[in-house]
Chain A
Amino acid sequence: MGPVKRYFRSPAAVLGLVLLLIVIGMALSAGYFYPRDPLALAGRPLIWPFANPRFLLGTDNSGRDIAAQIFHGARISLLIGGVATLIAVTIGVMVGALAGFYGGWIDNVLMRITEAFQTLPNFVLLLVLVAVFGSTLTTVTIAVGIVAWPAPARLTRAEFLSLRSREFVQAGRTLGMRDTQLMLREILPNALPPVIVYAGVVMAVAILLESALAFLRLSDANVASWGNLIGLGRDVLRVQWYVSAIPGVAILITVLAVSLVGQGLNDALNPRLKQR
C-alpha cells in the first residue's frame, strides 16, 4: 500500500484535505468571483448576511463586501501561514540538526539562543519586531517566522539526538559518508515526520498570530486579511457580531484543516506504521 492510499484511509485526514482544498480554492478563485478591490466600498454598511443577494455574507461597518474580503483574505492567510512556516521550519531544522548532531559546545550555544527566544512571550516579541520594522505584509510574515522557530528547533534536535547514535548512522559513517551526508540523507528523512506534523501547528499559529496582530490593528491595513476584518468588527461586536464571526470561522476551519492534514501526512509517510 502506497503512502497516498494510506492517507486516504483516514477520514479525518480526508476531511482536513477537503477543507484545505476549499480554502485554497477560495484563494485561487478570489479574482474570478470578486474581481474588484475587496477593500473598495461596495454598498450600504452593516447589511446582515443573506439579507441582500448581492452581498451573500453582508457588509462590514464601512460598507465593504465581507464575502469578497473572505475570499481575498484566504490568499493572505495562506501566504502568511505558508511562508512564515517555511521560514520557521527552515531555521528550526538547521539549528536543531546542528545542535543535535554535533552536541557539545555547539549544542550548548545554539540551545541557549533558542531558550532566549522561548523565554520571551511570542506575541510580545512579535509586537516589538513589528513596532521596529513596520507592519507591511513582508515584515509581518518574516516576524511571525522568526517568532515561531524555537519549537521546531527543539523537536529536530531531540530527533537528531536519538537518531545520531543509531547503528544505521554508524554504518553510514563506516561507509565513509561526510557529516553533511549523514545529516541530510540518513538522519533528516527519519527526523522529519514529527517536524512535518508540527509544521501544521506552526502554520496554524502563524495564521492566528497574524490575526491577533490585525485585531490590534498592527498588521498591514492595506491588504484584505481575515484578521483585519475581525479587528474592524470589534467596534460593532455586540450587535453586528457576524462581521467578526465570519472571518473567525474561516480562521477556525483553516487552522483545523492544516492540523488534520499534518497529522494525516505523518501517519501516511511513516512506513513503520503500516502494520497498524
Chain B
Amino acid sequence: MSSSEPILTVDRLSVRLPPGADRTHAITEVSLSVAENELVCIVGESGSGKSMLANTIMRLLPESVTTDGGRMLFGGRDLCTATAAEMRRIRGADIAMVFQEPMTALNPLRTIGDQIGEVLDIHTDLSKADIRSRVQSLLSDVNIPDPLRAAKAYPHELSGGQRQRAMIAMALALDPKLLIADEPTTALDVTTQAQILKLIRELQQRRKTAVLFITHDFGVVAEIADRVVVMQHGVVVEHGPAKQVLRNPQHPYTRQLIAAVPPVAAPLPRKLSDETILALSGITKTYRTGGFLGRGARVTHAVRDVSLTLPKGATLGIVGESGSGKSTLARCIIRLLDPDAGSILIDGQDWARLSRGEIRGRTRQMQMVFQDPFASLNPRRKAAELVAQGPIIHGTPRHQALAEARELFELVGLDPSAADRFPHEFSGGQRQRIGLARALALKPAVLVADEPVSALDVSVQAQVLRLLTDLRERLGLSIIFITHDLRVAAQICDLVAVMKDGVVVEHGLTGDVFGRPQHPYTQALLEAIPGGDFARTAQN
C-alpha cells in the first residue's frame, strides 16, 4: 500500500491562530501523506488541532486563522495557493468531507435525495433522470434500508445512523479521490457506530478511495486504520502503520492514549457487602404526549418495571444506548422525575412515596453528578460557592461551608486556590471534579452519576474514573453509574444492568455479564465496541 503514489501530501504545514488564543499556532509543521486505497487515522484529544487540519485541507478556515508556511500537495497542485474558484471545483468533486453531526450538516428543509442530487447537479451535466438513478444507486451503496423512501425523506425522518449514511452517500457522489471524515461516528450509538465504521471501510476498499479519518478513540483506530498519525497540541508526535503504533507505541502521549482505552473485561470482582443500601422494585415511568382527551396520544414507556438492588459500597452500572431509558431511570431514583409506579427503598424509607418537601430534607442521603460539565454548573457562581451551596441550604454556617469546600477541592484533586474562579475558567475535566465535589459536600451515602465522563477526553476520562474509584474506597460510597460506554462500565462497576427500550434485559456481576453475555442485545453491544479485539488481546 505504501508503495503507491500519495494522493495528498501535507508538508511542514503550520496554521497561525489569531492573537489572544491559547497558543500561537493551531498546527505546527505537520507533515503527513495519504495514498490511494489507504485509510489514515488522525488521533488526538480536543485541542490537538486535528479538526483544524481537516478544515485547512478543505481551505475552510475562519478568516482570522491563516496558513503560515508549508505546502499541501494534491494532484500536483499546492492547495495553499489555490484560488477560491479552484477550491470550489476541488471540494466535493476531488475531496469530500463527512462531519460529526449529520443533523446539522444536512439542510432540514430539503429531502435527502434532493441534497445528494444537488451535488451532482452542480458538478456534472447529468440529466434529471440520470441524477435520480445515481442517487438511488448511491443510497443503496451505503446500505440505507428502502432507498426509494429514504430519498424522499427529510433529515429528521431518518435515524442518526441513516443520516450519517446519507452524508456518506453525498460525499461519495462524485467519486472523490480523498474523503475526509471528521469524527463521523462520535455522535452515534455504539452498535450504529460499528455499522458505519464497517461501511466506511468497505466503501474505501471497493472504491480505492484515500480516507483521512479523524477520531479521538484508539478503539476506532484499531478497527479501521491502515496508518495512524497521533497529534498533540498541534504537533504530530508519532506516526506509522496502525499495527506498529498500537502494539509498540513510542511516544509517551501515544502510550497514555492507548492505555486510556480500557479493556472490556471486568476487573477482579471485589467482595460485595450483604447489606443492601438501595432497592428499586417495579419502577415505571410513562410519557404521554399530544392528543386531545386521549385521542391520538403517543405513549412512550421510558422505564418499564425495573427492579435492581445496590449493595452497600458497590457500584452498579446501568448501560444502554440512547433512548434506552437509563437517564430517565436515574432521574426517577433521585426524584427529579416522579415514577408512575414502584418503590425506591433507602434505609427502609420509600423515596417514591415521599413528597417534594420531604425529599428536600433528605437530599443528604443521595446526590447526583451530571453529564455535561458545561451545563451543570451555574455560570454566575464561583467554584467554592457552588460546592458550598448544599451544606448552606442544610444549615451549615456560610464561612464553615466555604472552608469545607476548599478541603473538598483537595479531595477531588483541584487546587484550593482556584476556588474563587468562575466555572468557565476551568477545563471540562476540572468542571466535572467541581460537580463531584458539590455532590460529595453533602456526604451522601448513594451517588447517582449520569454519564459523568462521556463529555470528557479519554485521558481525562481515565483520571476522573480513577478519582471515583478512589473516593468510593475512602468514603464508602455506593454508586449508581449510568453510561453508554461499556468500556467505562467494565472499568468501574461491580454490577451491571443492561437496558433496552426501558427494560433491564440482563443484570448481574460485571464479569459475568460481559464475560458470558446471555441476552442477544448484550452480545450485540459487546460485539460493537470499536477495537474490541485489540482491547481484549492487549491486556493479555
Residues of A within 8 A of B (CB): 166-168, 170-178, 181, 186, 189-190, 271-272, 274
Q: Are B375 and A272 in contact (CB under 8 A)?
A: no
A177 surroundings in chain B (CB, below 8 A): 360, 389, 393
A271 surroundings in chain B (CB, below 8 A): 379-380, 422, 424
Q: Are B438 and A175 in contact (CB under 8 A)?
A: yes
Q: Are B390 and A176 in contact (CB under 8 A)?
A: yes
Q: Sample 7 A-B pairs with CB under 8 A, ordered by A number.
A: A168-B379, A170-B370, A170-B376, A171-B435, A174-B363, A178-B360, A186-B378
Q: Are A190 and B363 in contact (CB under 8 A)?
A: no
Selected from A166, A176, A181, A186, the residue in CB contact (under 8 A) with B363 is: A176
Q: Which residue of B lies closest to A186 (CB)?
A: B378
Q: How far is the CA of A99 from the CA of B370 in the complex (A)?
A: 26
Selected from A166, A171, A190, A274, the residue in CB contact (under 8 A) with B368 is: A171
Q: How far is the CA of A274 from the CA of B20 in the complex (A)?
A: 12
Q: Which residue of B lies closest to A169 (CB)?
A: B378
Selected from B360, B372, B380, the residue in CB contact (under 8 A) with A167 is: B372
Q: How far is the CA of A178 from the CA of B368 in the complex (A)?
A: 17
A166 surroundings in chain B (CB, below 8 A): 375-376
Q: How far is the CA of A186 from the CA of B380 in the complex (A)?
A: 9
Question: B483: CB under 8 A from chain A?
Answer: no
**Contact flags B257-301 to A (C-beta < 8 A → 1, else 0):** 000000000000000000000000000000000000000000000
Q: Are B422 and A167 in contact (CB under 8 A)?
A: no
Question: B456: CB under 8 A from chain A?
Answer: no
Q: Are A174 and B368 in contact (CB under 8 A)?
A: yes
Q: Which residue of A lies closest to B394 (CB)?
A: A176
Question: B442: CB under 8 A from chain A?
Answer: yes
Q: Are B363 and A175 in contact (CB under 8 A)?
A: yes
Question: B62: CB under 8 A from chain A?
Answer: no
With contacts A176-B360, A176-B361, A176-B363 known, is A171 near B380, CB below 8 A? no
Q: Are B380 and A190 in contact (CB under 8 A)?
A: yes
Question: B336: CB under 8 A from chain A?
Answer: yes
Q: Are B378 and A168 in contact (CB under 8 A)?
A: yes
Q: How far is the CA of A20 from the CA of B442 in the complex (A)?
A: 48
Chain A interface mostly: helix
Question: B367: CB under 8 A from chain A?
Answer: yes
Q: How far is the CA of A167 from the CA of B389 in the complex (A)?
A: 15
Known: A170-B336, A271-B380; 17 extra A-B contacts, CB below 8 A, are A167-B370, A168-B379, A170-B331, A170-B370, A171-B368, A171-B376, A171-B377, A171-B435, A173-B336, A174-B366, A175-B389, A176-B364, A176-B393, A177-B389, A178-B360, A190-B380, A272-B379
Q: How far is the CA of A178 from the CA of B394 in the complex (A)?
A: 11
A170 surroundings in chain B (CB, below 8 A): 331, 336, 368, 370, 376
B371 surroundings in chain A (CB, below 8 A): 167
B359 surroundings in chain A (CB, below 8 A): 176
Question: B245: CB under 8 A from chain A?
Answer: no
Question: B116: CB under 8 A from chain A?
Answer: no
Selected from A168, A189, A272, the residue in CB contact (under 8 A) with B424 is: A272
Which residues of B in the span 380-427 have a Cβ within 8 Å of any Cβ on A?
380, 389-390, 393-394, 422, 424
**Contact flags B186-211 to A (C-beta < 8 A → 1, else 0):** 00000000000000000000000000
A176 surroundings in chain B (CB, below 8 A): 359-361, 363-364, 390, 393-394
Q: Which residue of A lies closest to B380 (CB)?
A: A189
Q: Are A174 and B378 in contact (CB under 8 A)?
A: no
B336 surroundings in chain A (CB, below 8 A): 170, 173-174
Q: Are B375 and A167 in contact (CB under 8 A)?
A: yes
Q: Are A172 and B389 in contact (CB under 8 A)?
A: yes
Q: Are A181 and B393 in contact (CB under 8 A)?
A: yes
Smallest beta-carbon distance B392→chain A, Å: 9
Smallest beta-carbon distance B179→chain A, Å: 33
**Contact flags B331-363 to A (C-beta < 8 A → 1, else 0):** 100101000000000000000000000011101
B331 surroundings in chain A (CB, below 8 A): 170
A274 surroundings in chain B (CB, below 8 A): 424
Q: How far is the CA of A272 from the CA of B377 in the complex (A)?
A: 13
Q: How far is the CA of A91 from the CA of B465 in the complex (A)?
A: 48
Most buried by A among B368, B372, B435: B368
Smallest beta-carbon distance B394→chain A, Å: 6
Q: Are B438 and A171 in contact (CB under 8 A)?
A: yes
Smallest beta-carbon distance B387→chain A, Å: 10
Q: How far is the CA of A252 from the CA of B331 in the complex (A)?
A: 53
A167 surroundings in chain B (CB, below 8 A): 370-372, 375-376
Q: Are A175 and B370 in contact (CB under 8 A)?
A: no
Smallest beta-carbon distance B260→chain A, Å: 25
Q: Are A190 and B390 in contact (CB under 8 A)?
A: no
A272 surroundings in chain B (CB, below 8 A): 379, 424
B367 surroundings in chain A (CB, below 8 A): 174-175
Smallest beta-carbon distance A103→chain B, Å: 14
Q: Are B379 and A190 in contact (CB under 8 A)?
A: yes
Q: How far is the CA of A271 from the CA of B360 in the complex (A)?
A: 31
Smallest beta-carbon distance B356→chain A, Å: 9
Smallest beta-carbon distance A191→chain B, Å: 11
Smallest beta-carbon distance A267→chain B, Å: 15
B370 surroundings in chain A (CB, below 8 A): 167, 170-171
Q: How far is the CA of A124 from the CA of B393 in the complex (A)?
A: 48
B394 surroundings in chain A (CB, below 8 A): 176
Q: How far is the CA of A174 from the CA of B390 in the complex (A)?
A: 9
Q: How far is the CA of A181 from the CA of B376 in the complex (A)?
A: 17
With contacts A175-B438, A176-B361, A271-B422 known, is A168 near B390, CB below 8 A? no
With contacts A190-B378, A272-B379 known, is A175 near B390, CB below 8 A? yes
Q: Are B375 and A174 in contact (CB under 8 A)?
A: no
B379 surroundings in chain A (CB, below 8 A): 168, 190, 271-272
Q: Which residue of A lies closest to B360 (CB)?
A: A176
Q: How far is the CA of A75 from the CA of B434 in the complex (A)?
A: 49
Q: Which residue of A lies closest to B442 (CB)?
A: A175
